[in-house]
A and B are shown apart, each in its own frame.
Chain A
Amino acid sequence: MTISEERSTEVTGAASGHDHESRKLSWTQRPGIFSQHIGTAAVLAVVGYVIGHWFGNYLTSGYSYIANSGQNSTANALALAFGVVGWLLGIGALNYPFAKLFGVDGLEEESPVDNWTKYFRYTLDHKIVGLQYVVGVLLFLFTGGLLAMAVRAELLNPTTHLFSPDTYIKIVSEHGTIMMMMATSIIVGPLGNYFVPLMIGSRRMAFPRIEALSFWIFTAGYMVIFSALPYGGFPTGWTGYAPLQTQAGPGMVSYLLGFAVIGIGMILAGFNQAVTIINYRAPGMTWSRVPIFVWSILATASLLTLATPVLIAGGLFGLLDKTVQTAFFVTEHGGSSYLWQNLFWFFGHPEVYIMALPGFGIAGEIMPVFTRRPLFAYKVAAAGMIGVALLSFFVWQHHLFQSGINPDMRPLFMLTTELISIPTGFIFLVGMGTLYRAKIRLEIPMLFVLALFFNFLIGGITGVFLSDVPVNVTVHGGFFVLSHFHYTIMGGLLFAFMAGLYFWLPKMTGKMMNKKIGKLHFWLMFVFFNLTFFPMFIIGLLGQPRRVFTYASNLQGLNDFSSVSAFILGFSFLVFFYNLVYSMWLKPEIAPPNPWESLGLEWQTASPVPPYNFERIPVIMTDPYRYSEEGAPAFADLGTGGPTDPSTHSLA
């Protein structure tokens, strides 16, 4: 257990000052081919995989029905699990947990070299972990996006096929799973890890080792989920419903284990961020002065920590069904396929808000900057986020309206689902209130925020329809639902992520993103996102089901329109990647210290941000969004000899 993990260097520092002379790197951290980095992680992952496979075969060698079945799920599961352990061993994430067994408290784990290779190592600097997450989620996004292109290519024609129906459903399943796993971490991972300590005036995360571990588990989970493809894929969609889950081949093991592994990473990330926000806020940062993005991360972290364990338990039960032949989800043997649905959606619906809330947090952070106005009804926004987080635990059964739940239960869950639209509406109205009569600077981050509100309005309103049992029963399992959740998740979350990246990349990298290419990216993404997914509402209402590789021929025109739009939408991401390469490496433009003139604390510290974030622990003086207010004091006293004297403020 790693609860007691601490940044030992910090504690040492507190005791004896920052004594560099006493720092000795362990041999695993010294530069050189045998030090620990992504290469050693890959090697040990392969070694672990081989050992796990052998061990699984050894354990099951006495069971003839497994030996004769042609597939040994126990061997597959252990191979992947040992592979994950090997990966973590190789990167160095388990050095400290092992050292702790011997009472070691001050293991030196900082990156030994200050060059680009530190991004491929286990590191305790939350800013490096944030950047590692940026690359990680973009890799997820790119892989899932390629699969989406394959899906739309197949749907170009109802009779001429690129894939077999079996292959098609496996591509759809892999796409959905990769995207959902990516989406849970896309803001909390990169932007949460990088900016939460900066925004609350902290020099560190509460548990830096847990933070780093969460990233490397995230990458391991990605590989486990991706391993489903060479194993033959899984046919269940991202929801993994039984009994199809029970009947599926070895790719299903990758799905179940991958979900569980990434779930552990999600819990660790949420745990660390929640504890950091609660305990490491700078002096003077009362709860009513916490930036709205931090509120959103806190609400999300509470969902990550409390909802995800249920997913992990569900994954464990599924793996036991596949390996030791239990019957959790096998109705014929005393289990129930509905049990999986309950466990999955108890996590799955809060997950929707895990994805939505940080997006609204980003919007709330960016709007005051580009309107030069305070965030309208700040406390309502914060309360709305907490309200959404709480209510999200009471709505999961609406996913089972069609699954044979007691009909008398439907009105209750219809009501709770409609109730959650109230705090969500609060958050939306906070955005509208901030924009009302504002002089908006239409910089790229703001464009993405405006697009977010447009998209989420469509996604949200269709969600209200879907919460009603009659509509839900009518359009269930069709493209209407598919379009609804793409509007909320891609239209909301992904646009917010892009807004956040364009807004904060200058701080993270010290370079500005190119505006012209950025605007081209925005307009392509916004227009063709809507042209891709809006027709799907109509396609759905006309009766096209999800996850089926053919459809009625009269729907080909709409499907082709949607597919061509999707290809251009995919192209817009290439424009983004090009902009990233162009602006960061090909023709970099040095970013000013505060290019958007934000009052946010993250912009007040030095650029590039030093390892310790702030020279002095800042003292928060006032509310975070006092834009355009005559005589308003600075948000924080940074204590570096500025206008106010830090010594006058008590830290206790």
Chain B
Amino acid sequence: MTNTLDQSGEPSDTPEEREYEMRAHISSIWTGGRLFIGIYTFFLASLVFSYFYLRSSNNGLLWRPDHVTAPRTYGLVIFGFSLITAILAYYGRKRLVKGSFMDFSVAAWSGVGTGLLALVFQILELSHLGFFPGSSGYASTFVGFAFMNIITLVISAYWLETTVARGMRIRRELSGASPEFSSHPRARAFRADVAAMAYFQVFVAMTGALLFAMFYLM
């Protein structure tokens, strides 16, 4: 029987096997990123469904009494920062593909900053509501939206921060060589992660626009 184990008792992988697993790993990041967007779509769709269900039911004519008005300025600021975060993440990814790690880092760290600002304003908005959470169907769904948005913004900022922090560490480990063109496995996985992250940020901005229209404009 062929001895395929090394001295530690683990398989001594052939280069083909390493490449095969590496490709599977990168594909997993791609698939996982898209599947996560699918999961999150259903999560947010529950809110959209609840909004229109209660709006069309209008039980006791309490969908939205006149005094229940969402603070639109807060909404604009939060959505604006989310949008900027997404644009920065997408731009950063584009620059990384072009070979500029520095541009990516600056854009991503700025995106982390704007994402955290959006989070702070979302919490502030929630603590300065002009209506009681249970005063109407709209008020309830608005509070639900605010809580969900906090979760979304935390995930978004976390993913962006961990990606750029990882990129910087990989750069150090590669002795200053940029990860955008390296064939090192970590660099390849990093690039796949950046792509998945950027798609998610764009998804957050797009759903943010939809929810902004629902809760502040309609």
Contact = CB atoms under 8 A, between A and B. Distances in A.
B170 interface: yes
- Which applies to chain A's interface (DSSP): helix, strand, loop or mixed? loop
B61 to A, nearest CB: 8
A262 interface: no
A497 B26 CA distance: 34
A328 B136 CA distance: 9
Nearest to B170: A105
Contacts of B28: 6, 206-207, 275-276, 278-280
A275 B35 contact: yes
A116 interface: no
Contacts of A203: 11, 21
Contacts of A331: 59-60
Contacts of B42: 306-307, 309-310
A352 interface: no
Contacts of A7: 25
Contacts of B109: none
Interface residue range, chain B? 35 or more
Given A4-B193, A11-B189, A641 B1 contact: yes
B5 to A, nearest CB: 6
B46 A325 contact: no
Interface in B18-53: 18-22, 24-25, 27-29, 31-33, 35-36, 38-40, 42-43, 45-47, 49-50, 53
A206 B54 CA distance: 40
A97 to B, nearest CB: 8
B66 interface: no
Contact of B35 (A271, A283, A320, A324): A271
B207 interface: no
A616 interface: yes
A4 to B, nearest CB: 4
Contacts, number: 245
B186 to A, nearest CB: 6
Interface in B149-178: 155-156, 158-159, 161-163, 165-170
Interface stretch (A125-133, A333-341, A361-369, A432-440): A333-341
B11 A616 contact: yes
A314 interface: yes
B132 A325 contact: yes
A652 B20 contact: yes
A4 B137 contact: no
Contacts of B50: 313, 317, 328, 339, 343
A43 interface: no
Interface residue range, chain A? 35 or more
B165 A13 contact: no
B16 A206 contact: no
B89 to A, nearest CB: 13
Interface in A185-236: 202-204, 206-207
A17 B134 contact: no
B32 A271 contact: yes
A207 B29 CA distance: 9
A588 interface: no
A14 B140 contact: no
Output the residue of A103, A317, A320, A338 with the most chain B CB within 10 A.
Answer: A103
Contacts of A206: 24-25, 28, 32
B28 to A, nearest CB: 4
Nearest to B45: A310
Nearest to A271: B35
A10 B59 contact: no
Contact of A17 (B6, B155, B186): B6
A3 B36 contact: yes
A332 B61 CA distance: 10
B139 interface: yes
A328 B11 contact: no
A327 B137 contact: yes
Given A274-B35, A333-B134, A641-B2, A14 B18 contact: yes
Interface string A295-337: 0000000000111011011101100110011111011111110
A334 B140 contact: yes
Nearest to B47: A313
A20 interface: yes
B58 to A, nearest CB: 8
Output the residue of B4, B14, B162 with the most chain A CB within 10 A.
Answer: B162
8 contacts: A15-B186, A18-B10, A306-B39, A327-B134, A327-B137, A328-B141, A335-B137, A616-B17
Interface of A: 1, 3-4, 6-7, 10-11, 13-15, 17-18, 20, 100-105, 202-204, 206-207, 267, 271, 274-276, 278-280, 283, 305-307, 309-310, 312-314, 316-317, 320-321, 324-328, 330-336, 338-339, 342-343, 346, 611-612, 614-617, 639-641, 650-652
Given A14-B18, A275-B32, A616-B11, 11 more contacts: A4-B189, A4-B193, A11-B189, A15-B186, A105-B166, A202-B24, A206-B24, A267-B39, A313-B50, A335-B137, A639-B4
Interface of B: 1-2, 4-6, 8, 10-14, 16-22, 24-25, 27-29, 31-33, 35-36, 38-40, 42-43, 45-47, 49-50, 53-54, 57-60, 62-64, 132-141, 143-144, 147-148, 155-156, 158-159, 161-163, 165-170, 184-186, 189, 193, 196-197, 200
A-B pairs with lowest CB-CB distance, top 6 = A334-B62, A313-B46, A103-B169, A103-B165, A641-B2, A334-B137
